Amino acid sequence: MVDVPSRPGVTQRILVITPDKPRAAVILFAGGDGGIQIQPDGVITRGGNFLVRSRQLFADQGLITAVIDAPSDKQSPPFLSGHRQTDDHVTDVKAAIAWLRQQTKIPVWLIGTSRGTQSVGHVATRLPVADGGPDGIVLTATVLNDPRSRAVPEMALDRIRIPVLVAHHREDSCRVCRFSDVPRLMERLTTPPRRELLVFEGGISTGDPCEARAHHGFNGIEREVVQRISTWITQP
């Protein structure tokens, strides 16, 4: 567990898993309100999210895996809700990227799921690599159409000059992440040097269609999803 200084009086907490001979580093952004509440001993209080519960799977693929929490000044409700597309959030994420680069000297990617894609998409449009931005991004179960906040296809995606991977479940029935809206996202990704859509099927869907144990959260196929994402990130 690491508390990275990010803004005056504020730290950005990340939980880091380091495998032997890592090939790249990834920062995982949970969906929902983004407040997973990593404790000082590394225990994650709210860890059911697809990416959070799959963190060891990413490490097993040879990736340094950092799970990012809400910053120290957002450690109570509503956590990151209403904060994901702000300058302060970009500053906090930039600090986490810088810490990983300093420690590892390897490419750093951002991976978001559900509302975590709003964090990742926004950072990618605001922070090029030359200014400390990520080397690539992965959008899983992307927020595609949302009347309450700016969905990813509505962002200034033409500013992105890094690889972008999109992963989506064909049967995702969350109202803001429907698979039928994915083409609009792909059509807007015109500037990345490399982009691809990975479509997944199968698994188990239970409960709320927008929660982590539905198809929206790749429930039951986590290992396949992580393996294909990791292969794409590390390909030459």
Question: What is the arithmetic mean of pLDDT over 51-57?
Answer: 98
pTM over 0.95: yes
What are the pLDDT digits (tens) for 223-233?
999 999 999 99
Whether pLDDT at 177 is above 90? yes
| Confidence band of 43 (pLDDT split at 50, 70, 90) | very high
Q: Is 203 helix (H, G, I), strand (E, B) or coil?
A: coil
What percent of the chain is predicted at pLDDT more than 90? 97
For the chain, how many structural domains are there in total?
A: 1
**Residue 99 buriedness (CB in 10 A; 0-12 / 13-18 / 19+):** buried
Between CA 198 and CA 165 the distance in angstroms is: 8
Length, in residues, of the chain: 236
Q: What CATH number is associated with residue 209?
A: 3.40.50.1820
Distance CA 78, CA 62 (A): 34
Burial category of 68 from C-beta neighbours within 10 Å (exposed 0-12, middle 13-18, buried 19 and up)? buried
- Label residue 17 by pLDDT band (50, 70, 90): very high
Burial class (CB in 10 A: 0-12, 13-18, 19+), 141: buried
How far apart are alpha carbons 181 and 42 in whole angstroms? 37
209-220 per-position pLDDT tens digit: 999 999 999 999
Do 178 and 172 form a contact (C-beta atoms < 8 A)? yes
Is-contact 24 2, C-beta < 8 A? no
pLDDT at 7: 98
Q: What pLDDT does 236 receive?
A: 77
Q: How far apart are CA 89 and CA 80, in angstroms?
A: 9
pLDDT, residue 79, reads: 97
- What is the extent of the structural domain holding 173? 2-234
The pLDDT of residue 96 is 98
d(CA 190, CA 171): 26
